[in-house]
Amino acid sequence: MSERSFLDAALNKPESGDKIEYFNNIKRRMNGYVLTENQRNQPQAGYCYEIDVTDMWEEYKKLKETCGYKLSFNTIIMKAMVEGLKAAPRLNAHIDFDHLRCCGTLTIKKHIDVSMPVMLDSGDTFPVKICNCEERNLQSLQEEINVMTEKMKNTDIDGVLFDLVIQRTVGFLLKGQIKKTVAQTVAGIVGKHKIGTLGGFFKKNATDGEKGLKYYHLNEGTVCFSNWAGLYEGLRGFETTSPLLYPQVFMMGVGGFIEKNFAFKNEKGEVDVKTRKMLPVTLTFDHRIGAFNDVIPFMKRMDEVFQNPQEIHNW
């Protein structure tokens, strides 16, 4: 091995023919920064379990035929999550913690604003905010999801993210984080990792009119709901404990339906085998808010909803 090869290997430099992708896409840079910060600074805990949604699915099909609007089962699950959050308000909160001084605050939010990832035409996903979910009935929730999804299609996300980055940069300055502000600003305008500049027309399309999203639609909500099965229908299994969206302290992720056979005793005492439709659910929370007992009221309310699926007709 030559001296040059030795040094290149020590620096883990790419070899000839390797493909290099730079993080000069604003979506990837935003995601990379937020997720890394969250993973570093938030002590997270998670719990995975399965909910029997067989009876809820049957009630959903009945409601879908009579409700008079296009209703998705994903909206039923989100509404159930909102009901759970009403029973466990400490999960619907923002945290601000100073690691140096070991002190902070937990702000329990008045409104439940759900961050819900939406897939873009490019194949990327980005969360949009569904506001005031605690005040919405099922129809209003479905309509708002449809509106925000349609607005996402009519939005130049790079342009809106540019406005969001400016807002967050101002926030860093106001908090006295000068080093972080300067480093990210310089990296965004010079070097291999710089972000392409936005032309006047490009930015104007991103922010004008009522058809598209604005930067505040992409701000963190109070809680995150993720359905990975919406990305791939063949998905089976649990979602991992994904990083929280700081300053949120809780998120709920679901996977695709799994049909499982269970043995039951019928009225005659004989063993029957029935197929049940199970929904994999993953709950992730910031451990600083307390212990798992803070999540139990949420799970109990979720159990009530799915054990009494007729309740959705009153939503």
Output the domain CATH number for residue 307: 3.30.559.10
Q: Are residues 129 and 231 in the same domain?
A: yes
Residue at 234 is within a domain: yes
Residue at 307 is within a domain: yes
Check residue 239 and give its pLDDT. 63
Tokens, residue 144: 């708002």
Q: Are residues 190 and 311 in the same domain?
A: no
Q: Which pLDDT tens digit goes with each residue over 57-106?
A: 999 999 999 998 999 999 999 999 999 999 999 999 999 888 778 888 99
pLDDT tier at 206, thresholds 50, 70, 90 = very low
The boundaries of the domain holding residue 307 are 44-140+219-315
Check residue 58 and give its pLDDT. 94
Q: Are residues 238 and 169 in the same domain?
A: no
Final residue belonging to a domain, choices 175, 192, 211: 211
Q: Are residues 132 and 238 in the same domain?
A: yes
Q: Are residues 105 and 173 in the same domain?
A: no
Residue at 273 is within a domain: yes
Final residue belonging to a domain, choices 211, 234, 255: 211
Q: Are residues 118 and 231 in the same domain?
A: yes
Check residue 101 and give its pLDDT. 80
Check residue 300 and give its pLDDT. 95
Name which of 30-39, 107-116, 214-223, 246-255 the model is least confident about.
30-39
Residue at 180 is within a domain: yes
Residue at 164 is within a domain: yes
Q: Are residues 198 and 134 in the same domain?
A: no
Q: Are residues 167 and 112 in the same domain?
A: no
Q: Is the pLDDT score of 205 beyond 60?
A: no
The number of folded domains in the chain is 2
When comparing pLDDT for 224 and 165, which is higher? 224
Q: Are residues 247 and 304 in the same domain?
A: yes
Residue at 281 is within a domain: yes
Q: Is the pLDDT score of 256 beyond 80?
A: yes
Q: Is the pLDDT score of 204 beyond 60?
A: no
Q: Are residues 179 and 86 in the same domain?
A: no
Q: What is the largest CA-CA distance in the chain?
A: 81
Q: Is the pLDDT score of 132 beyond 70?
A: yes
Q: Which pLDDT tens digit goes with each residue over 170-194?
A: 776 776 767 666 665 555 555 555 5
Residue at 151 is within a domain: no
Q: Are residues 261 and 296 in the same domain?
A: yes
Q: Are residues 127 and 35 in the same domain?
A: no
Residue at 70 is within a domain: yes
**Most confident of the following: 30-39, 93-102, 109-118, 242-251:** 109-118
pLDDT tier at 202, thresholds 50, 70, 90 = very low
When comparing pLDDT for 302 and 207, which is higher? 302
Residues 136 and 81: their CA atoms lie apart, in Å, by 13
